[in-house]
Homo-oligomer: A and B are copies of this chain.
Amino acid sequence: MDAAEATGESDGMPMILVDGLPANAVPADDRGFSYGDGVFRTLAMRRGRAQWWPRHYAKLTADCGALRIKPPAESDLSRDIQAIAAHLPDCALRITVTRGSGGRGYAIPDDSQSRRVVSANPLPDYPAHWPEQGVSVRLCELRLAAQPRLAGIKHLNRLENVLARAEWNDPAIAEGLLLDEAGNVIEGTRCNVFIVEDGALVTPDLTRCGVSGVTRDLVIAAAGRNGLHCRVEAINRRRLETATEILLVNSLIGVWPVAALEQRRWSDFKAAALVRKWLNAFDHPLH
């Protein structure tokens, strides 16, 4: 009996593997549940291939390291992903790694064993015109707290994102942008942000808050290879609003240009098209 048969969910979503075994539950004493003591990744599986997998695994390992959680072996995760790919070749994968089970209290047990949970969900069905014609975004009221010890890490403490996302329910608003207490833009609720300014790419500094995503890293790397330096620095609201373009990136959407932010409008998406070309090239093993 294989994974999908065991869960009885080969036709429907989701499909979940907990430490490699089909399951739909996690132990109630998991520290991910108790304290959000873990990290995660969201990535696209298309035609049975986990997109940008080596980069995602490297980032997962780095995030685990930042919290001193033992990362799962690449071979174990690859096997999980292949088991899912056999049944759900096109899906959104979520990989969660927690510090595992462990008692009452914040102290980390000496014998803690990290736990991995790989789940498949439907790929989101965003409106087809968003990548080409751009999206409408808003500025969130919630300001991100500055915690340098956790900045950049995609950890499980995501209440700020939940609260920010709860600020709107108009489906025409594709994303909300988050500022820090100083009023600098940091990210979207589920994406990273780039702006184009005087022909150059700039992306927010994430050393005090925010999540540093794999797609952001790819864009920075691709810019460098294409002779276009990408600066990483604080971006205040005025710079955001007067940018030539604003781009939103993550592993599921690729790149979306911003067409509307509050009263501002954009319609020339040259940089977005270029970044999309770069990202598509990364899919190609030859590039």
Chain A residues engaging chain B, CB cutoff 8 angstroms: 14, 16, 18, 23-37, 40, 42, 67-68, 92, 94, 96, 99, 103-108, 117, 119, 121, 124, 142, 145-147, 149-150, 155-166, 169, 181, 189-190, 209
Q: Assess A18 versus B14: contact at CB under 8 Å? Given A104-B94, A156-B36, A166-B107.
A: no
A163 to chain B, nearest CB (A): 6
Contact A37 B158 (CB under 8 A): yes
Contact A106 B181 (CB under 8 A): no
User: What residues of B have a CB within 8 angstroms of the CB of A150 in the complex?
Assistant: 145, 159-160, 163
Q: Assess A162 versus B37: contact at CB under 8 Å? Given A16-B28, A28-B24, A142-B149.
A: yes
Contact A145 B146 (CB under 8 A): yes
- Residue from B42, B105, B190 within 8 A of A124 (CB atoms): B105
A37 to chain B, nearest CB (A): 5
- Residue from B37, B99, B161 within 8 A of A35 (CB atoms): B161
**Nearest CB in chain B to that of A117: its residue:** B28
- Residue from B14, B35, B117, B181 within 8 A of A158 (CB atoms): B35
A209 and B33 CA atoms in complex are apart in Å by 21
A269 to chain B, nearest CB (A): 25
A31 and B35 CA atoms in complex are apart in Å by 12
User: What residues of B have a CB within 8 angstroms of the CB of A159 in the complex?
Assistant: 35-37, 67, 150, 155-157
Contact B29 A14 (CB under 8 A): yes
A19 to chain B, nearest CB (A): 12
User: What residues of B have a CB within 8 angstroms of the CB of A161 in the complex?
Assistant: 35, 106
